[in-house]
Amino acid sequence: MKVFWQEEKLPLKKTFFGPKEPRFLEIGFGKGDFMIHLFALDSSSPLVGIEISKEMINITLRKLSYHPNIFLFHGDARFLLKYVFPYFLFEKIFMLFPFPWPKERHKERRIFEGDFINILWYSLKDNGKFYTVTDEEVFSQDTKEKFMNSGVFEQDEFEDFFRKKATETKYARKWRKAGKNFYFLCFKKIKEKKPKIEKKIKIINKVDHFILKNEKFKDNYEKKEEGRIFILKEIYFSESGKIFKFFVKEEILEQTLFFTLDKKRNFILKPLFKERIIFTEWILENLKKIFDF
């Protein structure tokens, strides 16, 4: 079972998952109740899950006992599917009980805002299907409208098997107990249509270190431009050297980065936890303005 893509070159290739291509993806799998059924359905194909909560990943890892054919990714599905995963990969994508944000004033927080529907189109194979279920009628209507208005999906059948298993998750149990209704939605990709997506983030290969021309650096730096942010948050001085902390935001990708300048190797700027960092052109561009390299 892989939790992170770690040292892989991004975007991931189809071969990352092994000789067989994955068929199913579950987004926001929570405690993994539905994933178990997907795995029982076909344990010979890699099964993929994306979850933004580390705690849920840990719970699911324990349940699914680290099977090598299960790939769990920690992160935001909107970013991972757009920038990290290969396109045209999945037969079926499930997202059960996404946070509905039913109040009008919160509606821009709903998951299907922005370009996510078009990204789902690219993540699915030809004739691939997306399944979702919710307990909130307003959210269900809004979701249906958004998929139909996208022009790249049509409504399809939410088969009985998936319908039954989708109502056995933690949230399904919770909402059933509260006497709520379930609204099932299934959309099939229209393969002839090709939606436009704009990729603003340029991912670059992982960087091991930067060799600086001198020891100078700007100790106060902040850049905000077209929704992107790069801030030098803090410099920690210690006996062994300096540690720089940066906050970076591009689209929905937010990262906190640490770089070290070791006293003994003063001209070498090194990222800490580099396997967790997504290096981008924006990061490089701003580092160059702070340091001389």
Ligand X SMILES: C[S@@+](CC[C@H](N)C(=O)[O-])C[C@H]1O[C@@H](n2cnc3c(N)ncnc32)[C@H](O)[C@@H]1O
The residues of the shown chain that bind ligand X, judged by CB under 6 A, are 27-30, 50-53, 56, 76-78, 96-99, 111, 169-172
Q: Report the residue number, 52 or 207, with the smaller CB distance to ligand X.
A: 52
Q: Report the residue number, 56 or 124, with the smaller CB distance to ligand X.
A: 56
Note whether 207 and 274 are within 8 A (CB).
yes
Q: Report the residue number, 59 or 231, with the smaller CB distance to ligand X.
A: 59
Nearest residue to ligand X by CB is 28
**Residue 202 to residue 76: CA distance in whole angstroms:** 17
**Residue 13 dihedral angles phi and psi, to the nearest 5°:** -95, 160
Q: Report the residue number, 72 or 269, with the smaller CB distance to ligand X.
A: 72
Smallest distance, Å, CB 29 to ligand X?
6
Q: Report the residue number, 112 or 244, with the smaller CB distance to ligand X.
A: 112
Smallest distance, Å, CB 239 to ligand X?
40
Q: Report the residue number, 110 or 242, with the smaller CB distance to ligand X.
A: 110
Q: Report the residue number, 3 or 52, with the smaller CB distance to ligand X.
A: 52
Smallest distance, Å, CB 34 to ligand X?
6
Smallest distance, Å, CB 142 to ligand X?
16
Smallest distance, Å, CB 292 to ligand X?
38
Smallest distance, Å, CB 137 to ligand X?
16
Which of 170, 92, 89, 103 has the alpha carbon at shortest distance from 142?
A: 103
Which of 103, 104, 101, 82 has the alpha carbon at shortest distance from 27?
A: 82
Smallest distance, Å, CB 32 to ligand X?
9
